Amino acid sequence: MKTRILMVVMSLFMTVFSFAANELTPEQKVFQNSMKKFLREEGFSPTIDDVNSLTFKKEGELYWIDLGDSNPFYVEFHRVGFKCENSNRNYVLQACNEANRQVRCVKSFLGETSVSLVIESFCHSVEEFKYTFYKSLKELDKAYNIVRETYSNLDNGSSSYSQPFDISKIEVANVDKDNNIINGYGTTIYDFQTKYIKPRITVDVKTEGNYDIYVKFYSPKGLSSASDSPDGYTYKSTINMTSGSHTYTLYGWGSENKGNWSMGRYRLEFYYNGQRIAQKEFDIK
């Protein structure tokens, strides 16, 4: 089954909401059936999957349509992207940003392991959907091609942007002020035990040196910072990196007060020379 991607890759981080549900309203079902009939008449073989998405394939590639609201209907028109779990994540981020810049009507998303693309719109009638259907297909495919071509160029070293290291893995732990582990890396972090959230990064270093990594720490309430935080960031860590693949720990962020962080979804973003080079989402239970 297709992967739902929740992380949009643009100059600013955004969140997209999926309106697919197990049960559509009667009005939405009528609208979906009309779209399905149209697709069948156009020579596609549409089906309804287990989360009530209208799916079809074109030249072997998967597309799907999710519905929400009514009068007008909110329509999400998706195109599957590609798996990138073994790719240079920073290059994929740049490639998605380039697609978002060139094809404004399409949003390119990067999840933990894959890229996807979507066009969002409102339609009062199926006729409006029909009118823009082939244009939407064309724009989704255009954005996909830009992502693939831009990534290929970056990965082949043809980009003028050069980064001396790449972050390949991010883990988080819950520690006390003396860096004693409370909840270890890769284990569940519980809200009532939280003090300092400490990230650990695995880095592939091309050129050794001292590098300043800026961190943005987002709690469910937004960006967390203090009076001495760098402007626009949570904190900065300077790391002496040596060539090869190594693991480094950054500063912990939080408080010695037990239960400092509440239950919810959190995000760490890592920046070098003003470029976001990696990010990590995690849950505190």
Q: Which has more confidence, 81 or 270?
A: 270
Determine if the pTM surpasses 0.85: no
pLDDT, mean of residues 55-74 = 91
Nearest residue to 263 via CA among 219, 215, 201, 212 = 219
Share of the chain above pLDDT 90, in %: 66
pLDDT-based confidence at residue 20 (cuts at 50, 70, 90):
very low
Q: Is pLDDT at 162 greater than 80 in this prediction?
A: no
* All structural domains of the chain: 26-155 (3.30.1460.10), 165-284 (2.60.40.10)
Q: What is the pLDDT of residue 9?
A: 36
Q: In one letter, which amino acid is 122?
A: F
Helix axes of 126-155 and 89-102: crossing angle, nearest 10 degrees: 140
Q: Angle, to 10 degrees, between the axis of helix 26-41 and the axis of helix 126-155?
A: 70
Q: Are 250 and 213 in contact (CB under 8 A)?
A: yes
Q: How far apart are CA 252 and CA 264, in angstroms?
A: 18
129-143 burial, b if ≥16 CB within 10 A, otherwise e?
bbebbeebeebbbbb
Q: What is the pLDDT of residue 184?
A: 95
* CA nearest neighbour of 111 among 65, 80, 138: 80
